[in-house]
């Protein structure tokens, strides 16, 4: 017989999903869920909310945006600046270019190189396919990931 006479409080169901209940409380809620469709629906609702939170986009500037921000906007201005420099003071040109090359090299080595993120979701889902064969009967423990 279930410990809960009617329905489990929403806070307790939420705590179950968050892993905040102690073993005896978990067991009582598990037992109640066997008998109570309404509480099962609430748990389902909470698990969907977890998924929604996990699906919130992260605000990370894409690489293209960074490259765009660093790129000179007007090539004609670059050309004008170049012609000014080459117009006189030649002795400074070589030194300036060498210094610039050195700075660019050091900066480039220190700055993160372009990267491809591994397709984490695809990999985790593919692993689940294999893993389902271990647990059999579709008893997949982690069919979802936190992303």
Partner 1 sequence: MGSSIALIGAALVALVPSSVLAAGIAQDDRSRAVTYLRRVARAQEATYSCRQLVAYFGDPQSAAAMLDVRSSGDGQFVRAESGPATKRLWLDESASVLASRSSHLREATPTAVPLRPEEVLAKYEVDVGSRQRLFGVEVVPLTLVRRRDRAMIEQWLVQPRSGIVYQRELYDEQGKLVGMSTITDMKWGASAAAKPEPIEEQARAPSTVRSSATDNAPEMLPLGYRLLRGYRLEADGRPAEQWVYSDGLHALSVFSTSGRLQSPEGFTAAQGADGLWVGPGPGTWAWEGGGRSWMVVAEESALDPVELTEAFPRGGPSFWARLGSLWSRLFGAIGGLFS
Q: Which residues bind partner 1 (CB under 8 A)?
A: 16-19, 26-27, 30-31, 33-35, 37, 40, 43-44, 46-55, 58, 60, 72, 75, 78, 104-105, 108-109, 112-147
Find the angle CA(78)-CA(79)-CA(82) to the nearest 5 degrees. 85
Minimum CB–partner distance for residue 138 and partner 1 (Å): 4
Pick 37 or 94: Cβ nearer partner 1: 37
Pick 55 or 87: Cβ nearer partner 1: 55
CB-count exposure of residue 147 (10 Å: 0-12, 13-18, 19+) = exposed
| Alpha carbon distance 9, 35 (integer Å) | 15
Q: What is the DSSP letter of 18?
A: T
Pick 22 or 91: Cβ nearer partner 1: 22
């Amino acid at each position: 017989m279930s410990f809960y006479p009617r329905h489990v409080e929403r806070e307790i169901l939420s705590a179950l999903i968050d892993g905040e209940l102690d073993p005896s409380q978990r067991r009582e809620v598990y037992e109640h869920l066997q008998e109570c469709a309404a509480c099962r629906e609430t748990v389902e609702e909470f698990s969907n909310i977890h998924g929604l939170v996990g699906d919130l986009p992260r605000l990370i500037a894409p690489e293209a945006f960074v490259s765009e921000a660093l790129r000179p906007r007007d090539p004609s201005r670059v050309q004008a600046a170049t012609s000014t420099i080459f117009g006189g003071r030649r002795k400074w040109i070589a030194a300036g270019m060498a210094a610039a090359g050195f700075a660019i090299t050091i900066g480039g080595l220190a700055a993160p190189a372009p990267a491809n993120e591994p397709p984490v979701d695809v990999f985790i889902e593919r692993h689940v396919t294999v893993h389902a064969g271990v647990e059999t009967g579709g008893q997949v423990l982690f069919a979802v990931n936190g992303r």
